[in-house]
Structure 1
Amino acid sequence: MSDVNAEECRSGGGADDFFGLRVASIFIILVGSSSGALFPVLARRSSWLHVPKGVFDFAKYFGSGVIIATAFIHLLSPALDALSSQCLAPAWSEYPYALALCLLSIFSIFIIELIAFRWGTSKLKKIGVQHDPHGHNLGGHAAHGPESAFDTSTGAVAAAGVSIPRLTDDKSQTSASSHDLEEAKHNLDNTVLANPLAQVIGIAILEFGVALHSTLIGLTLAVDPDFKVLFTVLIFHQTFEGLGIGTRLAYMRLPAKYNWVPIAGAALYGITTPIGIAVGLGVRTTYNPGTATASIVSGVLDSLSSGILIYTGLVELLAHEFLFNKEMMDGSNMKIAYAVGSMLLGCALMALLGRWA
């Protein structure tokens, strides 16, 4: 091992210059992360802030692209680098551990969601609600909770995953209309109430992967020699990522007693990177991200997080938002192009940020 590599691998502190700016970065990134995550949640609930649906659609698809690029460029690639570091024992280079851990994470998340999905479906069957595993409306996903729309012109309630009769104006059905509509609303309420755990599990999985990543990059920022470049990039990185998380949280449909969950999720995302920075500054005299221990910890956590976001991005976002979404499949070519373009823009910008962070 060369003298340069030996210096990089030794225990001890990282860079300690720009200390005042590093402290200020805690609060600057806190504002950026929290704003990106909380704005979609609060805007969708606001009665006075009328945000056009097109803005939410853009944020939703843009955020999907951000999450997918984060998985590959900002998590899996650094994990491969960390677990192939020259500071590690030779045994670490004998097997692609980063890819194996990513694969393990993908199948673990799949099994967790499968169990949650089957549990939710069985609960719906017990209350007599027919469940469509590919039911979608307004970007909803059956395992993460159906959404609904009320059609006042026909008196029909459309609910993802709930089979509801569509009424006509025929006089012969007038007497049954009120009963069918009330039953449809009851089924919808029961569907929402029966599946909150599955929704929370779904968003918790996404939050967990992002939170690990955000904490690690906060630690790195606190002691990185190229602080100014990394700091500038992370402001945009965390804001874009927060926008993606926040839009997903905003579209959760939960019973009233769980209305705090989206806000709590957005706030949790907002504080993860600042916490990482604060911890990094606290241990700056002893923490060096280039040591063998630090490389193993960050490599393993990045690998697991990448699997979480790959599964979420490709299955929950791409497949269920486009391929299994009847609203999208029946939509115009312009709508499809707008959605795909928004997603590719988010992916491209986040991938570009990977050039510096």
Structure 2
Amino acid sequence: MATTNCKETESTECRNDSDAFLLKMIAIAAILISGAAGIAIPLIGKEKKLLRTDSNLFFASKAFAAGVILATGFVHILPDATSALTNTCLPETPWLRFLFAGFIAMISALLTLVADFLERKRMILYELFLESESDGQIVAVLGGSSNSHGQSHAFGDEADVAEGIRHVVVSQTITCVYGLCVAQIPGRNYPQILEVGIVSHSVIIGLSLGVSHSLCTIRPLIAALSFHQFFEGFALGGCISQAQLEKLSRMLMAFFFAVTTPAGIGMGTGIASFYNSNSPRALVVEGVLDSISAGILVYMALVDLIATDFLSKRMRCNAKLQIICYFALFLGALSMSSLAIWA
């Protein structure tokens, strides 16, 4: 059984430092352009009214993006995390005695659920506050049965309100069974959470390419990572375009996504002379970050993208849209999964 050489990071058969440096510069340009193009398409489409959020095309693009994100978490990131945290260069105790990658990913997904719930709950309270400050168009339905008859009651004293509120309607735009149906309100911050998962992994893959001296490793990675960043950018851009974010916030998120992997390549190139990707510290950092990213991306894909759209009334009542979106979902997942052959 072959053992990992914990001192040498790669074979010297294809090593050529000068040619590798040139390829890294090409990789920075190619990945920057592809990532920027991917995230710009949905953002510009929304800005120029070319991609309406109520159109079937937009639903299909979100389904494709969900498939891409799901495959990124399951096929690209989680296996990398498992490989790093089960590497034989790590101390047997505790790293090789427990499957930390899956455990950390699970905890990450659960913590994302908690953060998502708290953010949505905060949004509802904030919207209620704004409405009460502006025009007072807040109607509280007290008790459990009055809502079914469309009856409403004005606010009573604070004790009655605290005890009796079951449904809250704000200007006919927010409906909530308090504490139970918060998930009906789309969160404003879920694109930021999604970007955290994507960006942290982008740093890792950028560093991995940057520290390599092997032409055999770098050449296939340039094309694979360019497509990888394009698909991820398109997925993230679709989420950002749908969220209620200011233009500056959208631009900053797009900018940070586009430059993260090229910046990782640049940093990796700078430390390539002394960086050892098989050192215990490097393996633990890479494995933990990838595990956290995998948990975030899988949760976001399944809950905030797939469940939200595929269980919606519009999807249930439109057979044509169902077929289109399921096709787009599987196409996105399979397209991103196929890139794992090279990256």
**Post-superposition offset of 1:232:** 1.4
**Post-superposition offset of 1:18:** 2.1
Residue 241 (structure 2) aligns with: 250
**Post-superposition offset of 1:244:** 0.5
SS of 1:288 mapped into structure 2 = coil
Residue 202 (structure 1) aligns with: 190
Q: Which region of structure 1 is more displaced relative to structure 2, 55-64 or 340-349?
A: 55-64
Match for residue 305 of structure 1 among 272, 293, 305: 293
**Post-superposition offset of 1:51:** 4.8
Residue 139 (structure 1) aligns with: none
SS of 1:8 mapped into structure 2 = coil
Q: CA RMSD in A?
A: 2.7
Match for residue 295 of structure 1 among 283, 286, 289: 283
Residue 59 (structure 2) aligns with: 57
Report if aligned partners of 2:211, 2:271 keep a CA contact under 8 Å in 1. no
Residue 109 (structure 1) aligns with: 112
Pair 218,130 (structure 1): closer, same or farther in 2 beyond 3 Å: farther
Provide the rounded CA distance (Å) in 2 between the counterparts of 1:270 and 1:309: 18
Residue 216 (structure 1) aligns with: 204
1:132-281 matched pairs, under 5 angstroms: 199-224=187-212, 225=214, 226-254=217-245, 258-281=246-269
Pair 45,6 (structure 1): closer, same or farther in 2 beyond 3 Å: closer
Residue 341 (structure 1) aligns with: 327
Report if aligned partners of 2:72, 2:337 keep a CA contact under 8 Å in 1. yes
Report if aligned partners of 1:252, 1:262 keep a CA contact under 8 Å in 2. no
**Post-superposition offset of 1:65:** 0.3
Pair 347,95 (structure 1): closer, same or farther in 2 beyond 3 Å: same
**Post-superposition offset of 1:113:** 1.3
Match for residue 39 of structure 1 among 18, 35, 41: 41
Residue 322 (structure 1) aligns with: 310
Report if aligned partners of 1:220, 1:280 keep a CA contact under 8 Å in 2. yes
Residue deviations 1:64-105 (CA, integer Å, cap 9, x gap): 100000001111111001000011111111011111111111
Q: Which residues of structure 2 form unaligned runs of 5+?
A: 132-136, 141-166, 175-185
**Post-superposition offset of 1:9:** 6.2
Aligned length: 290
Match for residue 29 of structure 2 among 24, 27, 30: 27
Residue deviations 1:192-219 (CA, integer Å, cap 9, x gap): xxxxxx8442111000000001111011
1:353 aligns to 2:342 (yes or no):
no
Match for residue 81 of structure 1 among 77, 80, 83: 83
Report if aligned partners of 1:41, 1:263 keep a CA contact under 8 Å in 2. no
**Post-superposition offset of 1:4:** 5.9
Residue deviations 1:241-273 (CA, integer Å, cap 9, x gap): 10100111111234xxx2222222112111110
**Post-superposition offset of 1:221:** 1.2
Pair 130,96 (structure 1): closer, same or farther in 2 beyond 3 Å: farther
Q: Return the TM-score normalized by structure 2.
A: 0.77
Q: Return the TM-score normalized by structure 1.
A: 0.75
SS of 2:8 mapped into structure 1 = helix
Provide the rounded CA distance (Å) in 2 between the counterparts of 1:212 and 1:18: 24
Report if aligned partners of 1:64, 1:346 keep a CA contact under 8 Å in 2. yes
Report if aligned partners of 1:214, 1:272 keep a CA contact under 8 Å in 2. yes
**Post-superposition offset of 1:39:** 1.9
Q: Determine what percentage of the aligned residue pairs are the same residue.
A: 31
Provide the rounded CA distance (Å) in 2 between the counterparts of 1:75 and 1:236: 16
Provide the rounded CA distance (Å) in 2 between the counterparts of 1:6 and 1:219: 18
